[in-house]
Amino acid sequence: MKVKKFFIGLVIFFVMLALVYVLHIKFFKVNVIFYNAIFDGVLASVLTFLILLKWDYFRILNIFEKFQMGFSFVLLGYIFAISVPTVIDRSLSFYILEKLQQRGGGIKESGFKEVFQKEYMPEDRLVDVRLTEQLASGTIVIKNGCVKLTKKGYDLAKFSSFFRHNLLPKKRLLMGKYTSDLTDPFGHGAVDSNKTFDYICK
């Protein structure tokens, strides 16, 4: 009986999450999709939890079990935020699939460099989206046209660099070959390290 109540609660949560998410994206302003989707998940969890507390149908569940369900709803909302809207919004993999579909189902392998340079960047407004996300996260500031790391940004960059160098696979399959290139993307010769760049600012 309790298992049935749990699954009914899950159904209510997913309906509530879908309703909150759709209303949010249709009628309210969104700054960063990931953060707003997390907010939607938490809001749907709270609303569903209130239903569990107030509806006699769930009286058989004690308060601890209801809190467990509420915590489960928060986790499911977080999983949804990462796995659905954020992935589709950010994913290069989905972009490639959609671009192949747009171009009739096939693109020459040699043409993908042009696709990324001339179509992907402007179509997805990649720079604008990423800078907006970093500003909202507090990892960068923009002053007088210069994008600068904050203390939080420096700390995250150090962590990311450490993880990339030490905890990403050294033998990763890329186009039929196993390579460690992506554990040190700045150091495998793609860009001349001795080159002077005219976009640096202080």
Q: Are residues 20 and 78 in the same domain?
A: yes
Q: Is residue 140 part of a domain?
A: yes
Q: What is the mean pLDDT of residues 166-180?
A: 90
Q: Which two tokens stand for residue 169?
A: 């696979």
Q: What is the mean pLDDT of residues 177-196?
A: 77
Q: Are residues 84 and 119 in the same domain?
A: no
Q: Is residue 155 part of a domain?
A: yes
**Residue 100 pLDDT > 70:** yes
pLDDT at position 3, please? 81
pLDDT tens across 24-76, in order?
A: 999 999 989 999 999 999 999 999 999 988 888 888 888 888 899 999 999 99
Q: Is residue 138 part of a domain?
A: yes
Q: Are residues 114 and 144 in the same domain?
A: yes
Q: What is the mean pLDDT of residues 115-121?
A: 91
- Domain interval for residue 83: 2-90
Predicted model pTM: 0.78
Query: Binning pLDDT at 50, 70 and 90, where does residue 175 land?
Result: confident
Q: Is there a contact between 104 and 111 (Cβ–Cβ < 8 Å)?
A: no
Q: Alpha-carbon dihedral of residues 132, 202, 184, 117, nearest 10 degrees?
A: 50
Query: Binning pLDDT at 50, 70 and 90, where does residue 80 land?
Result: very high
Helix (H) or strand (E) holding 95: helix 92-102
pLDDT at position 194, please? 67
Q: What is the mean pLDDT of residues 158-179?
A: 91
Sign of CA dihedral 186, 188, 190, 193: positive
- The count of structural domains within the chain is 2
